[in-house]
Amino acid sequence: MKILLTGGAGYIGSHTAIALREAGFEPVVLDNFANSHPVVMERLAHITGQPFQLEQGDVLDTPWLEGVLRRHRPIGVVHFAGDKAVGESVALPLKYFHNNIGGAVSLLRAMETVAADDPAVAPTLVFSSSATVYGDPATVPITEDFPRSHTNPYGHSKLVIEDMLTALCAARPVWRVGTLRYFNPVGAHPSGLIGEDPAGIPNNLMPYVAQVAVGQREHLNVYGNDYATPDGTGVRDYIHVQDLAAGHVAALKALLGRGESFTVNLGTGRGHSVLDVVRAFEQASGRPVPYRIAPRRAGDVAQCWADPALAMRLLGWQARHTLDEMCADAWRWQSGNPNGYRS
Ligand code: NAD
Ligand code: UFG
């Protein structure tokens, strides 16, 4: 029942590790800690009362990965590892093509090699894709058959990996691949012990709002209030990371059971504006979140939310947590760990 989680010490991976253990799987965390902290492993053990197996290393190292797969013989792999900062990807495109696309190729080759020698290691993969593959959608809600495009190297890397997986499944029907397009993951584990720990100034809305509420930043810049949305600010489908974690468990069960590959949106099907998030966070934290209206951010779209019906149909999964719960859990994490894992 072992599942290998590349990038398993990161934000979404760490929450998924707990959900998998709770569902009776045996997660093995693989990470090079490029964007996470080893203390995560202690927190995971504390939450579940049992240590997690760790393989510290780089997915780009194919021979080492083969060794990891041969040692653990996982029945499935979840591939979270990669870089994810949109702005950085514009400045450093090769870093993204190398780590994201190169990392995926390395993992797929290692899995294929080991599966050829060891039938216990079936090539079963869940891949972390993103709503970024929809570019600027013509309408909302977004279904999986919407046209895909990219506006930055990060999004481009996700598109290329999706296409590689499609080609691989066509050529080798033994592969079972679940591609999950996350919308906007936010929130934290209800223990307040693990959560999102961005390095430097947060790019994303919820961690920025949380740092304003805790007093680390003076005010939020709201990027535009002249969009064609109810209050003029950008609308997104925020999804609790606990719901996302449950989505990975459901995806693995579907792949291991029915055995057919799929691509699904993981979102709530509801959109919230920037000002909705500010108000909900003020309510959850009891702290003011001062903001200023600033110019639009380059590359932003007005609104983006999912039609999650296919995930319900194929996986029996749906998101359960409200925006208020997302803010309450993000606040518990932020207020208990004002400097993240360095607190
Ligand atoms: P994260 O940065 O917290 O986690 C990624 C983990 O991968 C980190 O622990 C990092 O140390 C590790 N890693 C990176 N490169 C590695 C390598 N070469 N070898 C081994 N480990 C490596 O990010 P996250 O928010 O948990 O995102 C996980 C995945 O989900 C990513 O692929 C990301 O693109 C995707 N995703 C995230 C979001 C989001 O908003 N958080 C939205 C859509 C998709
Ligand atoms: N926003 C602000 N101020 C900030 C940060 C964000 O007003 O300081 C606004 C944005 O303009 C947008 C909304 O808050 O309207 C959400 O912005 P985020 O940066 O949190 O999220 P995005 O939807 O822009 O992008 C995120 C990830 C992408 C991913 C996408 C879909 O950063 O990598 O969700 O999953 F592709």
Query: How far apart are the CA of 342 and the centre of ligand 2, in A?
Result: 25
What is the band of 101 on the pLDDT scale with cuts at 50, 70, 90?
Answer: very high
Q: What DSSP state is assigned to residue 130?
A: E
Residue 45 to residue 225: CA distance in whole angstroms: 44
CA atoms within 13 A on the CB side of 67: 9
The domains of the chain are located at: 2-186+237-266
Q: Which CATH number does 2-186+237-266 carry?
A: 3.40.50.720
**What share of residues in the chain are helix, strand, coil (percent, to 5)?**
45, 20, 40
| Residues contacting 270, CB < 8 A, separation 6+ | 237, 305
- Told to judge if 341 belongs to the known catalytic residues of this protein, a careful annotator would answer no
What is the band of 225 on the pLDDT scale with cuts at 50, 70, 90?
Answer: very high
Q: Is the peptide bond before 93 cis (omega within 30 degrees of 0)?
A: no
Is the pLDDT at 70 greater than 80? The verdict is yes
Which residue bears the tokens 């999986």?
144
Residue 204 to residue 12: CA distance in whole angstroms: 15
Name the pTM for this structure: 0.98
Query: How far apart are the CA of 103 and the centre of ligand 1, in A?
Result: 12
**Closest ligand to residue 100's CA:** 1
Mean of the pLDDT values across residues 317-335? 98
Single out the residue of 237, 224, 245 nearest to residue 323, CA to CA: 237
pLDDT of residue 265: 98
- Return the structure tokens found at 169: 């499944």
- Return the structure tokens found at 45: 């053990």
Query: 96, 134, 154, 182: which is the annotated catalytic residue?
Result: 154
Q: Check if 229 has its Cβ closer than 6 Å to any atom of ligand 2.
A: no
Mean of the pLDDT values across residues 101-112? 98
Q: What Cα–Cα distance (Å) separates residue 195 from each residue in 10, 173, 335?
A: 9, 37, 11
For residue 283, give the 3-state DSSP assignment: helix
Question: To test the ligand 2 pocket, which listed residue (90, 205, 304, 326) has its Cβ within 8 A of the most ligand atoms?
Answer: 205
* Contact criterion met (CB below 8 Å) for 48 and 24: no
Closest atom of ligand 1 to 9 CA is: 9
Mean of the pLDDT values across residues 258-272? 96
Burial of 60 (0-12, 13-18, 19+ CB in 10 A): middle
